[in-house]
Amino acid sequence: MGACIEQYIGGMPKLWTDTVEGHRHAVRAAVLDAVAVLVAEAGFSGVSMTRVAEHAGVTRATLYKYFPDVETLLAAWHARQVGEHLSALEKIRSDAAGTGRQLQAVLEAYALMLYDRPGHDAPAPALHRGTHMDHAHEYLEAFIADLIRTDVQEKGVDPAMNPVDLARYCIQAIGSARSLSSRDAVPGLVSVTVSGIYT
């Protein structure tokens, strides 16, 4: 295979678009998709520059043009994953509009995301300290606080605390979904969490 983005045979994908920017986007997406596959298969320890290049269908030289090391690769993959999760929660909020269950629906989805997330190995704490996580936490906090405001208005009840503080409470409480005994316990966790919002 050549030094540029390769044309593949044997059914492998041909990563090429009409523009340089589109080409770069395609390469980056393929690389991050490869990281996702490797993390799912073997955890963070299964991710190496060589294996990512092989799975993405690019040369190592091409990979290094985009990502200088594994740590940068994992951070980019994690940032994309977090963004996808937040977008999914936004869609759930939109889909549940007018049902009176926006808050519950979003918290249930968030809890399931946490429950379903596989337990990976050592680098995870470092990923969760990234700048993208600071922004994600701020966004999630404001997002849930807004849901709480909407919920209390629809129900005509008084919240126990400031919506921002209640959002922090919800995030902490739903965080325990990681250690639930089964997915079936998620609705109960959400019900208990939401009941604590009101006086």
User: Mean pLDDT, the chain, as a whole number?
Assistant: 84
Distance, in Å, from the CA atom of 130 to the CA atom of 136, rounded to the nearest integer, reads 10
pLDDT at 15: 55
* Residue 90, both tokens: 């936004």
Residues 6+ apart with CB under 8 A from 18: none
Q: Are 44 and 74 in contact (CB under 8 A)?
A: yes
**pTM of this prediction?**
0.73
- CB distance 3 to 64 below 8 Å: no
Collapsing DSSP to helix, strand or coil, 198 comes out as: strand
| Measured distance CA(28)–CA(163) in Å, rounded | 39
Q: What is the pLDDT of residue 160?
A: 75
Q: What would the pLDDT profile of 104-123 be if each residue is shown by its tens digit?
A: 999 999 999 999 875 544 44
Q: Any idea which of 49-53, 82-86, 127-131, 139-143 has the lowest mean pLDDT? A: 127-131
What φ, ψ does residue 198 adopt, rounded to 5°? -105, 150
Closest alpha carbon to 113 in 169, 175, 167, 166: 175
**pLDDT tier for residue 67 given thresholds of 50, 70 and 90:** very high
